[in-house]
Structure 1
Amino acid sequence: MIKHIILTAIIAIPNLLNGQSLSDLYKKVSPSVVVIQTEEGVEDLDGHVNYQGSQGSGVLISSQGEILTAAHVVNNAEHITVIFHDGKKFPAKVVRLATVADVALIKLVYFENHYPAAELGDSDLVDIGDDVFVIGAPFGLKHSLSRGIISGKGVEKTRMEGFTFAEFFQTDAAINHGNSGGPMFNMNGEVIGLVSSIISESGGFDGIGFSATINVTKQLVIDSDKRRWTGINGVLVDRELAKLLNVPQPGGILIQSVVPLSPAFMADLKGGNVPFNNGDEEIIIGGDIILEVNDIPIVSEENIIAFFKSIFLMSEEERNTFKLKTLRAGKMQEVMLRFPTEQ
């Protein structure tokens, strides 16, 4: 009987330690997790602009006020507000963004440097079955904690010279609306991923969530200064859609919307305002269609890869200006897309 009690106690000790460890980790890292509120101006058919608000999560990664989040949280935002755990709010702007992996780097316009920055881990060391936890604001519930494991790991097929477009962890840690952009931590309290999306038949969490790995995030928006935020929300035009829209080539990028005061806005690029059902997907037509970037036609995935390769061969000065050929109301035009020297 005594042996049984001792054995039960020994078995229970690791569970208590693990619970305490997670509690301690949460207290340590949660002050670096932020809520991100955005406002997007949406033009209706009468030309009136209505503002729509949305919310996501993010994580502070530097003493300069740099924050990682999901690209879809901030890509179309006209106004971005970051809220810390103590309720203080700061305006922010997009610095770099990669929609292909759904990751973005934003920076506070001004910053009181007394919040701890999170430590970034090495997602290449993560194995399926590893314990992880996620902190975010699901349904507006700020600094909510959920725990799970790494259920899988996926890499996009498209690669170029060792450069991975996208890499995701699959997890069963509970993820819901508002978690997007929030950090996924390992049990050392290091960020190994950014929450991106879920697969759901119910509309809520069904046990399958995804986060972009931190190593690809570093590659795309932290360590690289080669990517620029344009302020364009666009969709790739395939051959069938090109025929429907009378595009004089088998592809392009249809601009859905343009963020005010963004580089695309300054270049006078226009978004659409007419809803259109393209199969199972609703898109917005009537906006400019980008046909070429720096004389590289946008007609296939291969051409897009060629364009990205060209960026990595450019000088810093060359990367600040891009020549676009666009189609607007059936007429060709050329515009120069210029970026500030420092974003």
Structure 2
Amino acid sequence: MQTTRQLLLAALAALATLATTCVPAHAGPEAHPRPVTPRGAFEPSEQNNINVFRKVSPSVVHITTLDVQRDLFSRNVQEVPHGTGTGFIWDEQGHIVTNFHVIQGSDLFRVTLSDQTSFDARLVGAFVDRDIAVLRITAPRDKLLPIAVGSSRDLQVGQNVYAIGNPFGLDQTLTRGIVSALNREIDSLNRRSIRGVIQTDAAINPGNSGGPLLDSAGRLIGVNTQIYSPSGASAGIGFAIPVDEVNRVVPRLIRDGRFIRPALGITSGPPQLHQALRLPKGVAIVAVGQRSPAKAAGLQPFSRDRNGRIVNGDVITAINDEAIADLDDMLSLLERRQPGDTVRLTLWREGKIRQQAVKLGESDQ
């Protein structure tokens, strides 16, 4: 009868035999990591991509809109994220520029800076016609790095551009493309035309709205606002509001809390009036407000006499010698001025042309 020692030795021998059969008869040499090949210098275009991102990303912010929900039973109130978008730091006072449609429908906003610190924000003002809004946060000065502002009037089709934003909630994303076209026209939320829009093929997706479009020097040249896409994702056609327009609107929103449009104090006729009466292109006046600039300047509206026949009034065909085709043209030209400015109107009445100086008033809209 085998002893315990003998049984143990037999078991160990069996295990050794099994282990030997599992080892390949011809095992290869021991493997080591490959040596790393030095990369060398970045290409100039790569280095510029890196420089632009490093320079501008601290000025780009993530905007979260919030809804307030109250628990039915506990009556506790909590803030629930409603939507997200992008914005950028405008100045050292904490003003943040974004699209109006990013913050539309919400009263509570949270701004997250590039270092992931967050601040509650309040709405300073918005101009729906240009899809621009300004928020403000109270943050330490050393965290507020304003973006460098460039110009859009001298852009060229084909020049490189960059977009930084938060597509699909992914923070601090850089995409690159070119200026694909200039002077595009898109509709704002209230169907007013936004003109002079920049078209780019830099990838812009949901969440990029309100973020900066940059030139190769890292200067702001536009605010990314819309994409054209049947699928809802980037299809290589994005649109940005030109910075010259932004730089005109934002200071007025900061100063007044709203965009105060200069006004003539008239009511314009519909396009059908021009067609029916074969009037020239422009704005046919069908009413003049009492105590309005138009009234003071003697502008005459279209009307009817006692027999119901139409009495010709004035058609505004140009402002400061810039021709206008319709009401949208006129409003766009007036928005470049301030209440109290004087403009020169070119007026048509019964085939005769005259010019009239008018001191602009303030719109009540």
Instruction: Tell me which interval the TM-score lies in, with the shorter structure as reference length.
Output: 0.5 to 0.7
Distance 1:52 1:125, change over 3 A: same
The 5 Å alignment of 1:155-174 reads 156=185, 166-174=195-203
Among candidates 121, 124, 143, match of residue 172 of structure 2:
143
Q: If the length of structure 2 is used for normalisation, what is the TM-score?
A: 0.55
Aligned twin of 2:258:
228
2:327 corresponds to 1:302: yes
Aligned twin of 2:142:
114
Deviation of the 1:73 alpha carbon: 0.8
Q: 3-state DSSP class of the match of 2:129?
A: coil
Deviation of the 1:226 alpha carbon: 5.8
Aligned twin of 2:64:
37
Among candidates 193, 196, 210, match of residue 239 of structure 2:
210
Unaligned runs of 5+ residues in structure 1 are: 1-12, 43-49, 159-163, 231-238, 240-291, 325-343
Aligned twin of 1:181:
210
- In 2, Cα distance between the equivalents of 1:183 and 1:175? 11
The 5 Å alignment of 1:44-55 reads 53-55=82-84
Deviation of the 1:51 alpha carbon: 6.6
Among candidates 52, 56, 65, match of residue 25 of structure 1:
52
Deviation of the 1:314 alpha carbon: 5.5
Distance 1:69 1:17, change over 3 A: same
What value does the CA root-mean-square deviation take over the aligned residues?
Answer: 4.0
Worse overlay, 146-155 or 164-173: 164-173
2:140 corresponds to 1:75: no
Distance 1:31 1:156, change over 3 A: same
Distance 1:157 1:211, change over 3 A: closer
Alpha-carbon displacement from aligned partner over 1:111-162 (angstroms, at most 9, x marks no partner): 211132110001112111010000000000000010000001125599xxxx
- In 1, Cα distance between the equivalents of 2:332 and 2:97? 25
- In 2, Cα distance between the equivalents of 1:168 and 1:14? 37
Give the residue type in structure 2 aligned to 1:113. Answer: R
Deviation of the 1:196 alpha carbon: 0.2
- In 2, Cα distance between the equivalents of 1:200 and 1:40? 28
Q: 3-state DSSP class of the match of 2:177?
A: strand
Q: How many residue pairs get matched?
A: 235
2:213–2:240 CA contact under 8 A, matched in 1: yes
Distance 1:205 1:165, change over 3 A: closer
- In 1, Cα distance between the equivalents of 2:67 and 2:57? 28
Say which one has the larger Rg.
2
Deviation of the 1:229 alpha carbon: 6.9
1:134–1:145 CA contact under 8 A, matched in 2: yes
1:184–1:193 CA contact under 8 A, matched in 2: yes
**Percent same amino acid among aligned pairs?**
29
- In 2, Cα distance between the equivalents of 1:181 and 1:82? 13
Among candidates 314, 319, 338, match of residue 312 of structure 1:
338
2:163–2:214 CA contact under 8 A, matched in 1: yes
Q: Higher relative CO (CA 8 A, sep ≥ 6), structure 1 or 2?
A: 1
Q: 3-state DSSP class of the match of 2:153?
A: helix
Aligned twin of 1:245:
none
- In 1, Cα distance between the equivalents of 2:109 and 2:249? 21
Deviation of the 1:304 alpha carbon: 10
Q: 3-state DSSP class of the match of 2:43?
A: helix
1:98–1:227 CA contact under 8 A, matched in 2: no
Distance 1:156 1:219, change over 3 A: farther
Aligned twin of 2:28:
none
- In 2, Cα distance between the equivalents of 1:58 and 1:306? 27
